[in-house]
Amino acid sequence: MTPKVMIILGSGSDIAIAEKSMKILEKLEIPYSLKIASAHRTPDLVRELVVQGTNAGIKVFIGIAGLAAHLPGAIAAYTHKPVIGVPVDVKVSGLDALYSSVQMPYPSPVATVGIDRGDNGAILAAQILGLYDEDIRRKVIELKEEYKQKVIRSNEEIVQKIDNPHITNDFLRIKNLELNESTEEFKGSCINKDADVVIIVGRHTDLITGKKVSVTLDRLKIPYDMQVICPIRSGKKFRAYVNTMKNAKIFIGINSNSSQVSGGLVGLTEKPVIGVPCENELGNNYLLSTVNMPPGVPVATVGVNNGRNAAVLSGEILSINNPVLLELLEKLKNKKINL
């Protein structure tokens, strides 16, 4: 049986983080291949594994590495399949590995997950595969439900056991635990309900980054819909919009102000969520709050303001079973490289 996912570790010393990915893939019964190869120490081996893996039918690559983590980027150099990067905390709390994974040049995105989050890397791979395999999609939904139940149970297991007369919860009557389900329809005009990709921009200032996504999606002929909706100021509208667009395949959150867009999206969909952190007026960016998501809810993060890479990543995900799109993607990537 050809595996669907290839995990490559930069070193045997990354195995503890890889085990988190392996555990999830095994739970979801997704066959995978596991290899150790370093872009620095064994560049030829990396190229050989990626080229052979791509030709053999690997759908998603996961590169796990610490320090100057060039491995995921090197994988992206040899394939048009989506590449997920898992930065490992070896020095400086893993920030070196995070920055080297996520800050990739156009048009070679690495869908980066949080530091040491091997579990989220595998969940993201499963979300991508779930777009083409109903059985995997169902298992992703079940897995997300497990994470949800864990939170709900912790009220009984932790809070109720605290013997403190100042805590008063008796007035709460929470019956409907399907709190995330919105059945409302979005009222806006000119929505493309057949969009494959949904782009949500948190505020008008960040439309410039949203525009970078849409221009590149246009070049790839991928249908999309884009709206400016702040999940904090317009929570109801945000949920109604996500509900209305629930048949889309990929959601992109253009984030500023504590990354609420991508963070809000992951609770409302089992589909892949891509996060684009934006710079704000003070020059700070929202990279860390976009990427460092808790287990169970990955955000495939691309570089700061790099809307174009979010679009290319969408193209890589959607071209898994679309040869026409794959050809367009190859042209776009090669043209850029040959310029």
11 binds ligand C2R (CB under 6 A): yes
Nearer of residues 27 and 47 to ligand C2R, judged by Cβ: 47
**Count of Cβ atoms closer than 10 Å to residue 166 Cβ:** 5
Helices (H) and strands (E) in the chain, counts: 12, 10
Nearer of residues 13 and 180 to ligand C2R, judged by Cβ: 13
Nearer of residues 40 and 137 to ligand C2R, judged by Cβ: 40
On whether the CB atoms of residues 107 and 82 are closer than 8 A, the answer is no
| DSSP code for 146 | H
Nearer of residues 42 and 205 to ligand C2R, judged by Cβ: 42
10 binds ligand C2R (CB under 6 A): yes
7 binds ligand C2R (CB under 6 A): no
Q: Which range, of 7-15, 105-113, 232-240, 310-318, touches ligand C2R by CB under 6 A? A: 7-15
Nearer of residues 35 and 335 to ligand C2R, judged by Cβ: 35
Structure tokens at 151: 């939170």
Nearer of residues 88 and 201 to ligand C2R, judged by Cβ: 88
Per-residue binder mask for ligand C2R (CB under 6 A), 23-42, x = binder: ---------------xxxx-
Location of structure tokens 């367009």: 328
326 binds ligand C2R (CB under 6 A): no
71 binds ligand C2R (CB under 6 A): yes
* CA–CA dist 10, 66 (Å, integer): 7
Q: Which residues contact 173 (CB under 8 A, 6 or more apart)?
A: none
Gyration radius (Cα) of the chain, Å: 20
Location of structure tokens 């709206």: 227
311 binds ligand C2R (CB under 6 A): no
* CA–CA dist 31, 165 (Å, integer): 51
In the list 5, 25, 28, 88, the residue contacting ligand C2R (rule: CB under 6 A) is 88
In the list 7, 50, 58, 65, the residue contacting ligand C2R (rule: CB under 6 A) is 65
14 binds ligand C2R (CB under 6 A): yes
Strand 83-88 relative to strand 111-112, pairing = parallel
**Sign of the torsion formed by the C-alpha atoms of 194, 200, 204 and 205:** negative
In the list 66, 85, 107, 296, the residue contacting ligand C2R (rule: CB under 6 A) is 66
250 binds ligand C2R (CB under 6 A): no
Helix (H) or strand (E) holding 119: helix 118-130
Q: Which residues bind ligand C2R (CB under 6 A)?
A: 10-11, 13-14, 38-41, 65-71, 88, 90
